[in-house]
Amino acid sequence: MNNNSKLLLQAQKIIPGGVNSPVRAFGSVSGVPRFIHEAKDAHVWDEEQVQYIDYIGSWGTAIVGHAHPEVVDAVCHAAQNGLSFGAPTADEICIAEMIQQIMPSMEKIRLVSSGTEATMSAIRLARGFTGRDNIIKFEGCYHGHSDSLLVKAGSGLLTFGHPSSAGVPKDLSRHTIVLPYNNVAALEQLFAQQGDSIACVIVEPIAGNMNMIPASNEFVQALRSLTDKYGSILIYDEIMTGFRVALGGAQSIHGITPDLTTVGKVIGGGMPVAAFGGRADIMECISPLGNVYQAGTLSGNPVCVAAGLKTLEIIQRDGFYRLLSARTQELSEGLCKLAREAGLPFSSRHIGGMFGFYFITGLPECYEDIQKADLQLFKQFFHAMLARGVLFAPSAFEAGFVSAAHSPEIIADTLSLAAEAFTEISREI
């Protein structure tokens, strides 16, 4: 038995399923999850010392590459000055100002420790500000695991949501309305019927949690105009897309100014930092200024903020996004070309440093479309690549991430390994 298998057995005895977050368990691809021992630049090594080219990148946080020396130095330096104070610091102001410069819609910002906290707090704030209870989310979008957001669509199009997890009270899920993504007509109909009851709409402006599916221009325009018309708050959940699809996130691509934005992942550079922010008049409703309560023992933790500040500094250097986008494009278009040459149903998208690939003909536009992807082919491809030393997300419903450390040579290596993998799986059809 190899070290990964041994560790899995040991982990399963003490940690439910052996993992601290479900997708890590390889449930949808089967097999033994790799226990990672070390990561550097574009690579990770497992407990068998096997090297992998990594396209998970800690789910997008590792945008400058793993263990970037400048980020590691910043963390070590901060740690020597104390791990946590539970009091305000100068660096918190620096990172908030830096985020604000990059995303001007975030007029005021509060730091938290996870994306889940950021979206949960933004929704509480929207409810407090509007005095309304109902919220809208979209099918296939993920916004963390707070109760109000673990809700799936009911049977009819306009019915209230049902809990998507045990332990979420039905009464609570009744306040979450789940609509199909990229469907302007459904959104218009819902607002026409009960727009006055809607506190907020929360959206992944480029969805990355049902694989990668961008919102259409029409859809984001409708989101902005309907929320304006009915006095609802528009929340852009840019926890994945912020500093990833472009420096200024999806909102800079769409030319949309949301009322509130949530960010995470990249802003911590691999450490637990997330934030929510937006219109000053809304943000001022947060305690201690207003009566919407929100707090955190480790919020703005100095060691984490040091990693985030250095990461944000690096990504603002000349040419960062030009190179990142070029390499992501090469990968995404290369995979598409090779898969089609092998006669497989396949398509792919990329924006900035984020990509999606789907075993499907044509491009998916919503959750229903992505459900048609060939999961068996995905699974075979995933394992064919893993066996060749390339680690993609272990699910057909996750996006992929390229970092600045993925050199042209690494992308070329990935593509030649993918050519072998596609040929192998096309033989098995």
Q: Tell me which residues are annotated as active site.
A: 142, 237, 265
What residues line the site for ligand PLP (CB under 6 A)? Answer: 114-116, 119, 142-144, 204, 208-209, 237, 239-240, 264, 274
Quick check: 61 and 54 in contact, CB under 8 A?
no
Nearer to ligand PLP, 138 or 346 (CB): 138
Rounded CA gap, 81 and 303, in Å? Answer: 9
Rounded CA gap, 183 and 86, in Å? Answer: 45
The residue at minimum Cβ distance from ligand PLP is 115
Beta bridge partners of 24: none
Angle, CA 11 vertex, CA 9 and CA 14 arms, to 5°: 115
Between the CA of residue 287 and those of 87, 119, 129, 179, 404, what are the distances in Å?
A: 16, 17, 12, 32, 39
Structure token digits, residue 25: 């368990």
Decide: helix, strand or coil at residue 196: helix
What DSSP line would sit under 130-148, residue for residue? Answer: HT--EEEEETT----S-GG
Q: Where are the alpha helices (DSSP H) in 342-396?
A: 367-370, 375-387
Residue 235: name the closest of 275, 198, 200, 192 by CA.
200
Nearer to ligand PLP, 112 or 187 (CB): 112
Nearer to ligand PLP, 18 or 208 (CB): 208
